[in-house]
A and B are shown apart, each in its own frame.
Chain A
Amino acid sequence: MAASYLQSVSYCSRAALRPLPLLASSVCRRHLDRYPSGNTTKLNICSAAALSFRPPASTAPRMASIRCFSALTPALKTTLDKVVGSNKVVVFIKGTKDFPQCGFSNTVVQILKSLNVPFETINVLENELLRQGLKEYSNWPTFPQVYLDGEFFGGCDIIVDAYKSGELQEILEKALCS
């Protein structure tokens, strides 16, 4: 469920990077075709995500640098709120659960696997806007980023410390039983 929300952001974020707003709109319509019309949530996210990257009007150059804009659009924030709330343990990593592409991400994945807890991973390497938006959302500049029960818990160092002290196991037990 969590990954499907982010697929919709991913699709329109690629569209939003193109210089022609009209093209972004037509890509959104194509996106609507791929998902049932009843799923207005995905349409709203896509439109909002794409529209938020329209360049400023008139005097600004057509190819506005996206670095001028915050990556954390309201639509992305809403999506991330849903993602971190949709599972008890959510980890934003580089790579996937089966193929982490960073030593720190791999450490967190292996710790959680060893504790036999169900957890969702989101690959930030797939979407640069998601990656930058998450840094603002979490107020944390690096990955991995671990959310437990909807709250930001920390990165790799904090997970390792908590695992060694037993605090992580206690928190997971409390979260999964609630």
Chain B
Amino acid sequence: MATRTLCSRANRIQTQLQTALQATVLEVEDVSYQHAGHAAVRAMEGGVANETHFNVKIVSPKFEGLNLVRRHRMVYELLSGELQSGLHALSITAKTPAEAANCAT
């Protein structure tokens, strides 16, 4: 069980994003169960929603000066391997530390 947890897609996403973006905040949530009826999931082997849909919230100084499209593209490029191996959708919140602080106040 511990080995499976270490190799889970959520952990891989966490590691890849943390390493590349030096995030001050990084939350990765597997919400595949919410998309169990999705056509793409039904088409998968077993028809079980398994590590297909994730929410990621990232606060990173690497996003400074980048518009949202470029921030999201950066995240997608970092996770291109996952996207080619069953990751179906990502909901991304990408903020700079200043933006996150403004939201918090």
User: Which residue numbers of A lie inside 8 Å of B, CB to CB?
Assistant: 94, 101-104, 125, 139-142, 152-158, 161
User: Within the complex, which residue of A125, A140, A142 is in contact with B89, where a contact is CB–CB below 8 Å?
Assistant: A142
Q: Write the nearest CB–CB distance from A152 to chain B, whole angstroms.
A: 7
The smallest C-beta distance from A154 to any residue of chain B, in angstroms, reads 5
User: Which residues in chain B, 45-76, are within 8 Å of chain A measured between CB atoms?
Assistant: 68-69, 72-73, 76
When distances are taken between beta carbons in the complex, the residues of chain B under 8 Å from A142 are 76, 83, 88-90
A/B interface sample: 19 pairs, CB < 8 A: A94-B39, A103-B35, A103-B38, A104-B89, A139-B73, A141-B83, A142-B88, A142-B90, A152-B69, A154-B69, A154-B72, A155-B72, A157-B68, A157-B91, A157-B92, A158-B68, A158-B69, A158-B72, A161-B68
Closest 5 CB pairs of A and B: A158-B68, A141-B83, A154-B69, A141-B76, A157-B92
Q: Given A140-B73, A141-B80, A161-B68 in contact, is the A156-B39 Cβ separation under 8 Å?
A: no
Interface size class of B (residues with CB under 8 A): 10 to 19
Residues of B near any A CB (own CB < 8 A): 35, 38-39, 68-69, 72-73, 76, 80, 83, 88-93
Check A140–B76 contact: CB distance below 8 A: yes
CB distance from B101 to the nearest CB of A (A): 18
Closest CB of chain A to B73's CB: distance in Å?
A: 6
With both beta carbons as reference points, the residue of chain A lying nearest to B38 in the complex is identified as A102
